[in-house]
Structure 1
């Protein structure tokens, strides 16, 4: 194992971890505004020397990869924090929605990178979230939140699309709780008039 790989395996010291997070947060802000931004621009936004950025991330691609992995971890942790396997299904579903919207608006550039296939950690965490979401939807169906016989994978995809649209609306600093309420209302009630003709 090379020295560089050994260093990557070691736990980061708290001051190093703070520096890394500062750089990643700056990278998210800068790249969300300009996807072609340079390492120098990231360093300036982070308030650190360019050499500090290069010491932590040897290349721009390494920085992008770490940013993607970081956002995927925040995404998975946001879902876990809602206790989707323990909290009452409707409560958990609302909290997952609000938590995920916060991550998707705070880390919009990283979350929108289409690199799941090329980034094993991001792919793994997104797959775990999909499985968690389906478990939560099954619990919701058993609790009477969703109709019996609903295609839960289709419902999940619609739910993801609603979150995606809400995150775009919240990119300018929208209220995650209000957006989560809108997503939930649309998911649970749809756009039709309750009890009205379906037209189908």
Structure 2
């Protein structure tokens, strides 16, 4: 792919993610204009707004998968992996703010992939519980919901937090709030 084509694609995806998160009915032409990309170029690349949204979902999933891989959830000590994950996923959440519930409704293939990535995080949280870092008897679903809310809050309600600061705060709050000690 030519460099200018790659730049245009990146601009359409990132702008599309932001604008569609703000207003799901934003037109492809409005996204192209905001991205600084010619409308015909945008329509040539994406026939519909839904096609762009599907590409945004895949970009978000690619970025999340990379964070999961880099965090080394199965190899690194739990607290280290937890911090790595949060530090990586906060910028992903900010860059790709599209709602995953919408992804579940509108793109079955993306939802299957999202479920697979989510299962990796669930397995990691089970590992954290098995290793005694989480309070016994707390249901995994509750633990995951609390964790997800902390990450979402750090990413979107406190945008002034840099990713390392957000990770420090989320991990400390999570482990002290749900932690074993």
SS at match of 1:131: helix
In structure 2, what is the Cα distance between the partners aligned to 1:74 and 1:174? 20
CA RMSD, 1 decimal: 2.5
Could you tell me which runs of 5 or more consecutive residues in structure 2 were left unpaired when the two chains were aligned. Answer: none
- Bigger shift: residues 84-93 or 152-161: 152-161
Kindly tell me: are residues 157 and 32 of structure 1, through their superposed partners in 2, closer, same or farther at Cα, counting changes over 3 Å? closer
TM-score normalised to the size of structure 1? 0.77
Instruction: Verify the 8 A CA contact 2:21 2:99 in the aligned structure 1.
Output: no
TM-score by structure 2 length?
A: 0.84
Count of aligned pairs between the two proteins:
179
The 1-side partners of 2:20 and 2:105 are apart by 21
Within-5 A mapping of 1:145-164: 145-164=133-152
What are the equivalent positions in structure 2 for 1:66-105 lying under 5 Å apart? 66-105=55-94
Which segments of 5 or more consecutive residues in structure 1 lack a partner in the other structure? Answer: 1-12, 196-200
* Aligned mate of 1:168, from 146, 156, 162: 156
Q: How much does 1:61 deviate? A: 1.9
The residue aligned with 2:42 is 53
Which is bigger in relative contact order (C-alpha 8 A, separation at least 6)?
Answer: 2
Verify the 8 A CA contact 1:84 1:93 in the aligned structure 2: yes
Cα offset, 1:177, TM superposition: 2.0
CA contact (8 A) 1:134 1:152 kept: yes
User: Alpha-carbon deviations, 1:50-82, whole Å to 9, x = none?
Assistant: 100000001122112221222122222222221
